[in-house]
């Protein structure tokens, strides 16, 4: 084979349709600011309180709402667009167009005046009131609650604390229940314990420097939260310009990058007391690993959750790795059914990446149908089919084992995926500059 033929077979020379597509994307970026459709699904405010706004998403077109409502619970610091990232990669859009009554609770802007609010505010008031408001607005039906990241922890603790809440099922997406299993955090914990000891051998008021800083700032400000999220994907951030260049012809890939950038730019601050609880009780002492969370003399036990729970871990999640999320499974001893699934994507990608359409969302569809309050025998069979489809799609997203070796490669471990955070595109026509380069 000639040298030219060898390079041609490697697909290093762009094809004419690739050049046209890349030029179109560049022109669209220059003329319109981007290629992503960032329009949000229309919604109506139905309930509000202190740092609590509950929205109902309006039905899509002629689609009629039916069945139990779904409530999406956002984490602190992250904007609610995590559930409505962009058209085509929006869990909200997926649920609404499927006819499910869809609701969301968000918290608005957190300011210095909110610095005295602790996690109790979300566990005792925000999440329970949102669940009750959703149920009431949907005619008294029980609610399927879906919580991402810290939202999943709030939801779990609220359900454990009050079994009377009208909950039909729970879905926990990428929630870190054992931070000792986060590789990024493990080396820092002993250093932080030393650094945050009270100065001068306790001659001060007993507060270490870390505690002093976040109390003085009233929590964690937005720029710091944004920086921390970006740091968790530092390798992708460094390689991002090259990845963009390699994928100039892939409109869907570029749209997802734009949507993730928009999400990161809209991070929200943490209130001071809540940030302090997260720092001391999650990061330093890792309480949730042991199945409880304590507020003074009060103690919430995760074993008291008596609802069915679906738990997702992201195959390439650097913020809440699979083992960190899976730690909640053995703690849910009071649940009638606990199901754990590893799906493609990173912390955000597992929820709303391109692979989520056929994996995470189908699991959620099947789970909600399975635990609906008035499902028919036909719907029960439909739930099994949806879950089976999701299992097949998830298995297909994992790299195949090498045919020449009987030993499994590192990339073929259960839950592995061929794409980082934003997900791969299995239907892309072109061979060069694949979105799979993010995994390299």
Residue 43 · residue 104 · CB < 8 Å: yes
Stretch 57-65: mean pLDDT, rounded? 91
Q: Is residue 191's pLDDT more than 50?
A: no
Q: Is residue 36's pLDDT more than 70?
A: yes
The mean of the pLDDT values for the chain is 77
Choice between 436 and 399, residue whose per-residue pLDDT is larger: 399
Structural tokens at position 351: 């929820």
Q: How confident is the model at residue 124 (pLDDT cuts 50, 70, 90)?
A: very high
Q: How confident is the model at residue 216 (pLDDT cuts 50, 70, 90)?
A: very low
Find all residues with CB under 8 Å of 378, minimum gap 6, and list them.
none
Structural tokens at position 379: 């719907």
Stretch 433-440: mean pLDDT, rounded? 32
What pLDDT is attached to residue 430?
30
Q: Is residue 243's pLDDT more than 70?
A: no
What pLDDT is attached to residue 218?
43
Query: Percent of the chain, pLDDT > 90?
Result: 47
Q: Tokens 């290093």 belong to which residue?
A: 12
Least confident of 34-43, 318-327, 422-431: 422-431
What pLDDT is attached to residue 31?
52
Q: Phi and psi of 264, rounded to 5°?
A: -65, -35
Can you give the pTM of this predicted structure?
Answer: 0.75
Report CA torsion sign: 208, 209, 213, 219.
Answer: negative
Choice between 81 and 188, residue whose per-residue pLDDT is larger: 81
Residue 237 · residue 420 · CB < 8 Å: no
Q: Tokens 């560049």 belong to which residue?
A: 26
Q: Is residue 174's pLDDT more than 60?
A: yes
Choice between 397 and 245, residue whose per-residue pLDDT is larger: 397
Q: Is 65 exposed, middle or buried (0-12, 13-18, 19+ CB in 10 A)?
A: middle
What pLDDT is attached to residue 350?
96
Q: E strands of 249-388, at which residues?
A: 270-271, 292-295, 298-301, 309-314, 338-343
Element at 390 (helix H, strand E): helix 377-396
Structural tokens at position 5: 């033929």
Q: How confident is the model at residue 132 (pLDDT cuts 50, 70, 90)?
A: very high
What pLDDT is attached to residue 39?
93
pLDDT digits (tens, 9 = 90+) for 230-242: 445 544 544 455 6
pLDDT digits (tens, 9 = 90+) for 8-33: 444 556 666 656 565 655 555 555 55
Q: Is residue 150's pLDDT more than 60?
A: yes
**CATH class in words for 35-393+410-439:** alpha beta
pLDDT digits (tens, 9 = 90+) for 274-312: 777 777 677 778 889 999 988 878 899 999 999 999 999
Choice between 388 and 264, residue whose per-residue pLDDT is larger: 388
Query: Percent of the chain, pLDDT > 70?
Result: 66
What pLDDT is attached to residue 29?
59
92 conformational bin, left if phi > 0, alpha if psi -120 to 50, beta if neither: alpha
Beta bridge partners of 49: 52
- Taking the CB of residue 161, how many other CB atoms lie within 10 A of it? 20
Element at 227 (helix H, strand E): helix 222-231
């Amino acid at each position: 084979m000639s040298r030219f033929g060898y390079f041609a077979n490697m697909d290093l020379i762009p094809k004419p349709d690739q050049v046209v597509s890349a030029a179109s994307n560049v022109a669209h970026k220059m003329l319109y600011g981007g290629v992503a459709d960032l329009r949000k699904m229309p919604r109506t405010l139905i309930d509000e309180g202190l740092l609590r706004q509950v929205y109902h998403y309006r039905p899509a077109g002629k689609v009629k709402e039916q069945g139990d409502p779904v409530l999406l619970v956002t984490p602190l610091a992250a904007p609610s667009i995590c559930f409505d990232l962009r058209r085509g990669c929006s869990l909200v859009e997926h649920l609404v167009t499927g006819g499910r009554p869809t609701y969301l609770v968000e918290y608005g802007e957190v300011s210095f005046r909110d610095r005295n609010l602790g996690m109790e505010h979300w566990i005792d008031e925000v999440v329970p009131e949102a669940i009750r408001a959703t149920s009431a607005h949907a005619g008294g039906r029980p609610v399927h609650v879906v919580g991402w990241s810290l939202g999943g922890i709030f939801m779990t603790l609220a359900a454990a604390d009050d079994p009377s809440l009208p909950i039909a099922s729970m879905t926990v997406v990428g929630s870190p229940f054992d931070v000792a299993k986060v590789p990024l955090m493990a080396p820092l914990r002993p250093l932080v314990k030393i650094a945050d000891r009270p100065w001068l051998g306790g001659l001060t008021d007993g507060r270490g420097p870390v505690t002093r800083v976040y109390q003085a700032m009233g929590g964690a400000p937005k720029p710091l939260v944004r920086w921390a999220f970006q740091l968790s994907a530092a390798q992708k951030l460094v390689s991002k310009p090259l990845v963009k260049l390699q994928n100039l012809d892939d409109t869907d890939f570029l749209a997802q990058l734009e949507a993730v950038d928009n999400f990161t730019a809209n991070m929200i601050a943490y209130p001071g007391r809540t940030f302090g609880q997260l720092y001391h009780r999650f990061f330093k002492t890792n309480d949730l690993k042991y199945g409880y969370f304590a507020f003074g003399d009060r103690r919430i036990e995760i074993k008291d959750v008596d609802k069915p729970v679906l738990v997702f871990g992201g195959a390439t999640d650097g913020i809440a790795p699979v083992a960190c999320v899976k730690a909640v499974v053995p703690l849910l001893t009071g649940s009638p059914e606990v199901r754990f699934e590893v799906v493609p994507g990173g912390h955000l990608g597992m929820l709303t990446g391109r692979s989520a359409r056929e994996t995470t969302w189908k699991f959620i569809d099947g789970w909600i149908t399975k635990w609906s309050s008035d499902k028919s025998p036909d719907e029960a069979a439909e739930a099994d089919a949806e879950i089976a489809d999701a299992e097949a799609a998830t298995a297909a997203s994992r790299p195949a084992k090498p045919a020449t070796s009987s030993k499994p490669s590192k990339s073929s471990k259960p839950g592995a995926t061929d794409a980082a955070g934003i997900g791969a595109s299995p239907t892309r026509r072109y061979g060069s500059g694949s979105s799979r380069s993010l995994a390299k």
